Amino acid sequence: MNRVEILKNVEAKHLKTSLPEFHVGDTVKMRIKVIEAEKVRVHPFEGIVIRKNSGRIGGSFTVRKISFGEGVERIFPLHSPVIESLQVVSRGQVNKSKLYYLRDRLGKKSRVRQQQQQQPQSQSQPQPQPQA
């Protein structure tokens, strides 16, 4: 075995497979493990993904939320044991890979356009009208 194969085997043990697919601009709801003294508690954290670095084991993403009028950003490793669960609440439609401009926006200006859900079209064709 060469070094690359050994690294892939070690990385495979730590990769999370339960993460849903999400992109920049999506609103995510997470449950995060927080260690306080000797207790481990779970905190909810919901916000917009403003950056995503999709490396293998070293990938990370940044989530921004507004809490009591202050912007809060947290950087999470993709495969961190701190993340108990991650759920995509809504999909955002953005044209940039980094949404750092949201830091300067307040109120309704800081919204991200929501992606439209596409309805599956029915397979039936309209019936032609008989001509008289």
pLDDT tens string 98-114: 988 888 887 777 778 88
CATH class of 3-102: mainly beta
Per-residue tokens: 95: 């044209």
> What percent of the chain lies above the pLDDT cut of 70?
89
For residue 46, CA distances in Å to 6, 22, 54, 80, 87 come to: 37, 14, 20, 17, 9
Asked if residue 116 has pLDDT above 90, the reply is no
Asked if residue 55 has pLDDT above 80, the reply is no
Q: How many CA atoms lie within 13 A of 75 on its CB side?
A: 6
pLDDT, residue 101, reads 87
For residue 50, CA distances in Å to 4, 7, 68, 101, 129 come to: 32, 30, 19, 9, 53
Asked if residue 2 has pLDDT above 60, the reply is yes
Q: Where are the domains of the chain?
A: 3-102
Give backbone dihedrals phi and psi of 82, rounded to 5 degrees, phi first.
-70, -30
pLDDT, residue 127, reads 64
pLDDT tens string 15-26: 888 888 888 999
3-state helix vs strand vs coil in the chain, percent to 5: 15, 40, 45
Give backbone dihedrals phi and psi of 7, rounded to 5 degrees, phi first.
-65, -40
pTM of the model: 0.76
pLDDT, greater one: 29 or 129: 29
